[in-house]
C-alpha cells in the first residue's frame, strides 16, 4: 500500500509540474466565454420536470448554481391550485452536486419524489462543483478559488441559498441534506440568522463528529496525512475526473483492495444500489472539491472535533484570537427546530457511535430512522429508498411547521 501510494504521489508530482509548470494564467477574470451546460438541461428537463436555473452570489464572491424544480402533475397537492408548495432546499454530499438527488428514476429519486409531492424543490450546488459558476474575480486555476472548506459552505453558501429562497418564496424553508450536506446544515443551524428561516430539516447520514468513521481507505489516507501531502504539493483542487485524479484512484487500489471495492472502502457496504447504473452515476460524479475541505474533514477524524478549520496554533491566534479553532456548538441549535435523521448500520462514515454523540449534544430529540443494512450511498441511491426512507421523510416534512394543517 505504502509503495503504491509513493508511486502515485510521484505520478502526481510529475503530472502537476506538467499541468502547472508551463501554464500561463494570463486571464483571471473568473467569467467564462462559453455558457456551461446546466443541471436543468442535462438531467431534469429531459426527465420531464419543469426546472429553472438561478445564479446567486455569496458574500465572498462565489457564483452558485441553484435549480428550482417542480412537477407538472402536482399543483393541487397542497390545496391551492396554481400555487407552489413549501420550499425545500437539497444539500448534497462531498464530491457530489445537485445531480445527486436525481440519479435514479423519477419514482426512486428524492428530488423528483419531492416535486411530485408538491414541494417547491430548490437544488443547492456547493462552490467548486460543475453546476456552480465560478467566482467574480478568481478563475479555477487560481489557488484562492480553492481556499475554503465546509465551514465556508455552511457560513457563506448555505447562508446565501437560504436567504435567497426565503426572499423569493416569502416563506421559511425545509432543508434536506446528505453527508457533507448535513455537516454544513448542523454548522449553519448554530447561526441564528440562518436557522430562523428554516422550518425543519431532514438529514440523511447525519455527520457532525467523524472520529468513529470506519472507512478503511479513508482511515489509511488520514493516517498517512495524504491531505497535508497534497496541500504541500500545491494541489488545491481535488478533481478525480482529471488525469492525475484518475491515476491517484487507480494507484490506491492494491490486491487487498480491488477498485471494485473502492466505494465500499470509502462509504461502507451499500446494500441496495443498482450496480448496472454505476456508469451512469460516473457521468455526473465525482465533482471537484478543495483539498482544504478534505483537510478539514480529516482534522475532524484525527481530532474528534466539530470545529472551524484548524490552521495550527500560530495562525489560529491570528485568525481566531485563540490557539484552538472555535467549535460549532450543537447545543446552540434551537430546540424548536424539528429534526429528522436517518442513519445506517453499514455506514462507514456516519458511524452509529458518532450519530449518538451528535444526538447527545442536540437540545432537541430528533425523529430517527435506523436502517441496519444501509451504507453511506444507499441513502441517495438505494432502489428501495422511497419505501425505506423517503415516505417517512415526507410525512415528517408535511407534519412540520405551518404545513401541518394542510
Closest contact distance (angstroms) between CB of 274 and ligand NAG is 4
Binding window for ligand NAG (CB under 6 A); candidates: 196-204, 270-278, 313-321, 392-400: 270-278
- Residues near ligand NAG (CB under 6 A), total: 4
The catalytic position among 347, 351, 354, 378 is 347
* Active site annotation includes 376: yes
The sign of the torsion formed by the CA atoms of 121, 126, 127, 130 equals: negative
Closest contact distance (angstroms) between CB of 150 and ligand NAG is 32
Pick out residues in 381-400 that bind ligand NAG (CB under 6 A). 383
Q: Which CB, 14 or 278, lies closer to ligand NAG?
A: 278
Closest contact distance (angstroms) between CB of 108 and ligand NAG is 7
- For the stretch 179-189, what's the b/e string if a residue is b when 16 or more beta carbons lie within 10 angstroms of its beta carbon? bbbbbbbbbbb
Q: Which CB, 277 or 324, lies closer to ligand NAG?
A: 277
Could you tell me if 214 and 376 are in contact, meaning their C-beta atoms sit under 8 angstroms apart? no
The catalytic position among 109, 149, 179, 185 is 179
Q: Which CB, 358 or 382, lies closer to ligand NAG?
A: 382
User: x/- contact string, 225-264, with ligand NAG (CB under 6 A)?
Assistant: ----------------------------------------
Q: Which CB, 280 or 329, lies closer to ligand NAG?
A: 280
Q: Is the peptide bond before 301 cis (omega within 30 degrees of 0)?
A: no
Closest contact distance (angstroms) between CB of 117 and ligand NAG is 21
Pick out residues in 364-383 that bind ligand NAG (CB under 6 A). 383
State how far the Cα of 43 lies from the Cα of 251, in Å rounded to an integer: 32
Pick out residues in 273-312 that bind ligand NAG (CB under 6 A). 274, 276-277
The catalytic position among 92, 135, 178, 376 is 376
* Active site annotation includes 92: no
Pick out residues in 313-352 that bind ligand NAG (CB under 6 A). none
* Active site annotation includes 347: yes
Closest contact distance (angstroms) between CB of 393 and ligand NAG is 20
Binding window for ligand NAG (CB under 6 A); candidates: 93-101, 120-128, 150-158, 269-277: 269-277
Closest contact distance (angstroms) between CB of 280 and ligand NAG is 6
Q: Which CB, 173 or 381, lies closer to ligand NAG?
A: 381
Q: Which CB, 242 or 274, lies closer to ligand NAG?
A: 274
Q: Which is nearest to 43 in space by CA: 21, 69, 19, 23?
A: 69
Q: Which CB, 173 or 380, lies closer to ligand NAG?
A: 380
Closest contact distance (angstroms) between CB of 93 and ligand NAG is 21
Active site residues: 179, 347, 376
- Residues found near ligand NAG in the complex (CB under 6 A): 274, 276-277, 383
Amino acid at each position: 500500500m505504502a509503495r503504491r501510494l509513493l508511486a502515485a504521489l510521484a505520478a502526481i508530482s510529475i503530472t502537476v509540474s506538467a499541468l502547472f509548470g508551463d501554464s500561463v494564467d494570463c486571464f483571471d477574470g473568473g467569467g467564462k466565454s462559453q455558457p456551461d451546460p446546466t443541471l436543468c438541461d442535462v438531467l431534469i428537463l429531459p426527465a420531464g420536470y419543469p426546472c429553472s436555473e438561478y445564479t446567486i452570489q455569496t458574500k465572498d464572491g462565489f457564483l452558485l448554481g441553484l435549480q428550482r424544480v417542480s412537477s407538472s402533475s402536482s399543483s393541487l397537492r397542497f390545496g391551492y391550485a396554481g400555487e407552489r408548495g413549501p420550499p425545500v432546499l437539497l444539500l448534497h454530499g462531498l464530491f457530489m452536486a445537485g445531480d445527486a438527488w436525481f440519479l435514479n428514476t423519477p419514482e426512486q429519486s428524492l428530488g423528483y419524489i419531492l416535486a411530485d409531492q408538491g414541494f417547491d424543490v430548490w437544488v443547492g450546488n456547493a462552490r467548486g462543483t460543475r453546476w456552480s459558476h465560478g467566482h467574480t474575480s478568481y478563475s479555477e486555476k487560481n489557488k484562492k478559488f480553492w481556499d475554503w472548506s465546509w465551514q465556508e459552505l455552511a457560513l457563506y453558501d448555505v447562508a446565501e441559498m437560504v436567504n435567497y429562497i426565503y426572499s423569493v418564496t416569502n416563506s421559511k424553508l425545509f432543508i434536506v441534506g446528505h453527508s457533507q450536506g448535513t455537516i454544513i446544515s448542523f454548522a449553519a443551524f448554530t447561526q441564528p440568522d440562518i436557522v430562523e428561516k428554516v422550518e425543519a430539516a431532514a438529514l440523511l447520514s447525519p455527520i457532525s463528529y467523524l472520529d468513529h468513521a470506519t472507512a478503511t481507505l479513508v482511515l489509511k489516507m488520514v493516517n498517512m496525512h495524504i491531505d497535508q501531502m497534497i496541500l504541500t504539493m500545491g494541489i488545491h483542487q481535488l478533481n478525480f475526473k482529471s488525469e492525475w485524479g484518475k491515476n491517484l484512484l487507480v494507484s490506491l487500489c492494491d490486491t487487498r483492495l480491488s477498485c471494485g471495492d473502492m466505494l465500499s472502502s470509502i462509504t461502507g457496504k451499500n446494500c441496495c444500489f443498482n450496480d448496472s447504473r454505476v456508469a451512469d452515476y460516473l457521468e455526473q460524479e465525482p465533482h471537484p472539491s478543495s483539498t482544504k475541505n478534505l483537510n478539514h474533514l480529516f482534522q475532524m477524524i484525527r481530532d474528534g472535533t466539530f470545529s472551524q478549520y484548524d490552521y495550527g496554533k500560530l495562525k489560529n491566534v491570528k485568525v481566531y484570537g485563540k490557539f484552538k479553532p472555535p467549535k460549532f456548538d450543537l447545543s446552540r441549535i434551537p430546540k424548536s427546530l424539528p429534526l429528522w435523521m436517518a442513519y445506517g448500520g453499514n455506514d462507514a462514515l456516519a458511524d452509529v457511535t458518532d450519530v449518538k454523540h451528535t444526538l447527545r449534544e442536540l437540545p432537541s430529540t430528533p425523529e430517527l430512522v435506523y436502517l441496519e443494512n444501509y451504507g453511506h450511498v444507499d441513502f441517495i441511491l438505494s432502489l428501495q429508498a422511497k419505501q425505506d426512507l423517503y415516505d417517512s421523510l415526507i410525512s415528517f416534512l408535511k407534519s412540520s411547521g405551518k404545513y401541518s394543517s394542510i
